[in-house]
Structure formats: structure tokens, C-alpha cells
């Protein structure tokens, strides 16, 4: 079915009605008869090939094509992670082999030869000359390029057994010209010589049948008799290769199905699900480990924090006790001082010191001063803490680093400048030495000249 469908795509003549095609064929036939006889008269005495010999050559070629192209395509597909590349490679093999077996098992040896050359040459133009193989397969392309090139060379060697140089040139021209006017066609394996109807190549086939090349012409009677035998041979030949073709088609069909967007989406979803299920135990273990690690880390942090808090409270308690003690002592001292002053006032009055009366001593003033002193100490402590935080911040570090680098650069510049100055001084010293030596020598020579 695939064979039929693919064949349908490329048959038919572009832009010509059947009547025009018939008229063109008739005109071409007339031209070809004269050209064929003319070329035959010019042809050298090259040995002519019989139809059965040509059949054997084309059978052999088709089998080699299958072998060479299969090897090259399988090499492209082997361990290839890209499904698109695998599918495209298989498509090349499928189309090429189907086309080749279709051609070789045809009924007309003359057409077969031309069809075979056309198909393989167009394939080689697309894959090699237009660089499609490299575009499609990248680093895997060289093997395929070599294979299709080999098959093109063999196809033209086969053609050269049938066609003379002029006919080969015309065949080359029509193939190139067809490709130039049909650059959009990618599946060229099924393009046949018949597709060139309406071009200047039309007469080529008629020439061949008229004995214009190196094929021995057959009389109608012998042709009729041999056709039956050849048809049987071809049917047998094709049937022996049918399993291969079926296998390639089946693989191609599977590739096609797998590359459909819906199947591709479904496979991707299944793949994701499978990967998720497969990774589940590992994910759970990882999560569990992460949770316990986090708990451990937090517990340590909490313990440390509590310890710090306990220390702080103990320190605060000690500080409070010290402060209380200090305040009590100061208060006691001040009370004693107050008593002492009161006693001195009494003594002064007793001895008649006539001084203006001063404000009596008040302990509250000193208490207030002490409270302010405590506040200042607290602010100073807070300031120290803030300074520590600033010193630990990234911005401060960057600033310090920038300043350091700037200082380094300045030092480097200074050293470089110093080196340059030293170098210059060294050069000047050498120059001075050199000039002085020169002058000494000149003066010495002058002295010798003027004794």
C-alpha cells in the first residue's frame, strides 16, 4: 500500500494535458529516430549489450543498493538517541529500496536503466550536493554520503554500458534541469525518467530502443517471445526479496506511528510517569534525610541559643549584683561623706567661720548622675554592638576590599613607574656610556692623527 501511495505522488507530467504529452512523444519519437541513427553512425565499435545481460546487471545493482544503503542507514540509526534522525534515515532506506526494486522488476529494460540512473542521481543530488544529509544527520552523515555516492557512481557505470557519451550528457542535463525547476521535492527516489516528458530528453528512450546506444536492438518477434520469460524471471526475483521489503515497510510503519504527535505525547507522558515512579524511593529517602538533617541543625541551634541566653542571664545577674553592691557602697560612702560634711559644718560654725550659707548637700543629685552614667554605658555598649554588625556586613567587606585593591593598584603603578624610570635611567646610562666611549675613541684617534 505504501508502495502504491508513494508511487502515485511522483507520476504524471507537470503542466501538460494528455493530448499534449502524446503529441510531444510523437514529435520526440520522430526526432529520436533520426538522431538515433545519426548517433549510431558516429558511435565507435563498442560491444553491444544484450537485454538479458542488462537485466542481470540491473538485478545485481538493486541487490548491492539494498546492501550498501542498508548498512549506511543502520549505522546512522545505531545508538542514535534522536528519534527524528532514526525515522528520516529509515525513510531514506525504505524509499530507496522500494524504488529500486520497483524499477528493476519493471517490464521494460530500457526504461529501467534510465529510471535507475534518474532515481539514484536525484537522491545523490539532494543528499550530497544540496547538503541535506549533513543537515539531517550532522556528524553521522559521512557514511551515508559515501554510500549514496558509491551507488551513483555504479549507476552511471551501468548507464555507460548502455548510453554513449552524448546520451549520458543529455541525461545529466535533464536530471539537473528537473531538479533546478523542482527544488521543493524532497522524496525524489520515486521520480522516474517518464517524469521528464516534455523535456528534450524524451527522445533518449526511443533512441535506445532504436539501437542508438550500446544496447542491441531486438526484433519485434524475438521481443514478444522473450518478454514472457523475462516477466516470469522478474516475478520470481521480486518474490524472493518480498520479505525484505515487508520488513523494511513494517519498520517504517512503526516509525511513522511512533512519530505521530498524539503517540509522541502519550509516550512522553508515560515516560515522565515511569521516571517519576522510578525515582520515588530515592526522592522519599532524600526528603527524609533532609528533614532529619534540618531537625538536627535546628536542635543544635536551639541548644546553643539557650546556652547563650543562660550565660547572658547569668552575666546580667552578676552585673546586677555588682551594680547593686556598687550603688550600696556608693550610697554608704555618700552618707558617710554627708555625715562628715555636716560634722564639718558644725565645727565651722563652732569656730565662727563667717561664710555665706551654701546649699545643703543632697544625695539625690549624685544618684541622678550615677543613673545618667549607667545610661551612657548602655549606649556605648549598643554602639559597640552596631559597629560589630557593620564590620561583619558584606557591603563593608566589599568597601574594605575595594580600598585594598585600589591601594594595591596605586602601589603597582608606583612600582611600575619606578621600574620605567629605572629602565630609562639604565638606558640613558648605557647611551651615555656608549657616547662617551665613542667620544673617547674619536678623541684618541684625533690625537693620533695630530701628534
Which parts of this chain interact with another protein (CB under 8 A)? 27, 31, 34-35, 38-39, 42, 121, 124-125, 128-131, 134, 145-146, 149, 152-153, 156, 160, 164-166, 168-170, 172-173, 175-177, 180, 199-200
In angstroms, the Cα distances linking 252 to 22, 249, 256, 257, 327 are 38, 5, 6, 9, 100
The nearest distance, CB 131 to another protein, in angstroms, is: 4
Find the distance separating the first CA and the last CA of the chain, reported in whole Å: 121
The nearest distance, CB 143 to another protein, in angstroms, is: 11
Q: How far is CA 203 from the centre of its chain?
A: 50
Whole-number Å distance between alpha carbons of 180 and 125: 11
In angstroms, the Cα distances linking 363 to 165, 249, 353 are 133, 113, 24
Which residues partner with 49 through β-bridges? Answer: 215
Whichever of 97 and 147 has its CB closer to another protein, that residue is 147
Whichever of 172 and 345 has its CB closer to another protein, that residue is 172
Match 523535456 to its residue by C-alpha cell.
199
Q: What secondary structure letter does DSSP report for 44?
A: -
Whichever of 48 and 259 has its CB closer to another protein, that residue is 48
Whichever of 159 and 248 has its CB closer to another protein, that residue is 159
Whichever of 103 and 201 has its CB closer to another protein, that residue is 201
The nearest distance, CB 168 to another protein, in angstroms, is: 5
The nearest distance, CB 26 to another protein, in angstroms, is: 12
Whichever of 59 and 156 has its CB closer to another protein, that residue is 156
Instruction: Mention every residue, 6+ apart, whose C-beta is less than 8 A from residue 235.
Output: 105
The nearest distance, CB 430 to another protein, in angstroms, is: 15
Q: How far is CA 444 from the centre of its chain?
A: 78
The nearest distance, CB 139 to another protein, in angstroms, is: 12
Q: How far is CA 195 from the centre of its chain?
A: 40
Amino acid at each position: 500500500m505504501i508502495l502504491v501511495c508513494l508511487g502515485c505522488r511522483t507520476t504524471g507530467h507537470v503542466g501538460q494535458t494528455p493530448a499534449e504529452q502524446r503529441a510531444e512523444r510523437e514529435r520526440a519519437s520522430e526526432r529520436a529516430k533520426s538522431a538515433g541513427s545519426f548517433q549510431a553512425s558516429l558511435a565507435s565499435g563498442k560491444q553491444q549489450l544484450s537485454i538479458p545481460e542488462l537485466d542481470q546487471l540491473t538485478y545485481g545493482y538493486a541487490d548491492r543498493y539494498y546492501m550498501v544503503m542498508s548498512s549506511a542507514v543502520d549505522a546512522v540509526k545505531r545508538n542514535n538517541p534522536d528519534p527524528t534522525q532514526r525515522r528520516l534515515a529509515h525513510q531514506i532506506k525504505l524509499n530507496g529500496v522500494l524504488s529500486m526494486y520497483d524499477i528493476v522488476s519493471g517490464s521494460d529494460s530500457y526504461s529501467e536503466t534510465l529510471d535507475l540512473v534518474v532515481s539514484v542521481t536525484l537522491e545523490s543530488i539532494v543528499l550530497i550536493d544540496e547538503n541535506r544529509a549533513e543537515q539531517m544527520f550532522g556528524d553521522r552523515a559521512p557514511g551515508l554520503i559515501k554510500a549514496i555516492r558509491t551507488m551513483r557512481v555504479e549507476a552511471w557505470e551501468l548507464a555507460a554500458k548502455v548510453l554513449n557519451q552524448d546520451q549520458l550528457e543529455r541525461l545529466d542535463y535533464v536530471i539537473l534541469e528537473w531538479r533546478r525547476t523542482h527544488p521543493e521535492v524532497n522524496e525524489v527516489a520515486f521520480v522516474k525518467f517518464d517524469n521528464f516528458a516534455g523535456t528534450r530528453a524524451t527522445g533518449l528512450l526511443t533512441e535506445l530502443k532504436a539501437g542508438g546506444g550500446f544496447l542491441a536492438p531486438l526484433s519485434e518477434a524475438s521481443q514478444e517471445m522473450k518478454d514472457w520469460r523475462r516477466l516470469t524471471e522478474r516475478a520470481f526475483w521480486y518474490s524472493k526479496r518480498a520479505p525484505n521489503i515487508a520488513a523494511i515497510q513494517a519498520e517504517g510503519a512503526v516509525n511513522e506511528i511512533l512519530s505521530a504527535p498524539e503517540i509522541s505525547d502519550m509516550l512522553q507522558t508515560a515516560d515522565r510517569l515511569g521516571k517519576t515512579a522510578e525515582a520515588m524511593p530515592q526522592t522519599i529517602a532524600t526528603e527524609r534525610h533532609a528533614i532529619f538533617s534540618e531537625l538536627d541543625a535546628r536542635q543544635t541551634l536551639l541548644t546553643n541559643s539557650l546556652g547563650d541566653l543562660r550565660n547572658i542571664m547569668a552575666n546580667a545577674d552578676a552585673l546586677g549584683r555588682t551594680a547593686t553592691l556598687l550603688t550600696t557602697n556608693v550610697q554608704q560612702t555618700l552618707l558617710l561623706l554627708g555625715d562628715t560634711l555636716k560634722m564639718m559644718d558644725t565645727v565651722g560654725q563652732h569656730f565662727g567661720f563667717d561664710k555665706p550659707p551654701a546649699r545643703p548637700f543632697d544625695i539625690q543629685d549624685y544618684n541622678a548622675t550615677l543613673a545618667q552614667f549607667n545610661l551612657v554605658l548602655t549606649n556605648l555598649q549598643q554602639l559597640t554592638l552596631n559597629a560589630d554588625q557593620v564590620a561583619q556586613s558584606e557591603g563593608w567587606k566589599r568597601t574594605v576590599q575595594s580600598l585594598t585593591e585600589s591601594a594595591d593598584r596605586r602601589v603597582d603603578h608606583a612600582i611600575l613607574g619606578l621600574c620605567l624610570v629605572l629602565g630609562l635611567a639604565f638606558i640613558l646610562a648605557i647611551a651615555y656610556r656608549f657616547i662617551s666611549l665613542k667620544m673617547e675613541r674619536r678623541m684618541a684617534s684625533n690625537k693620533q692623527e695630530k701628534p
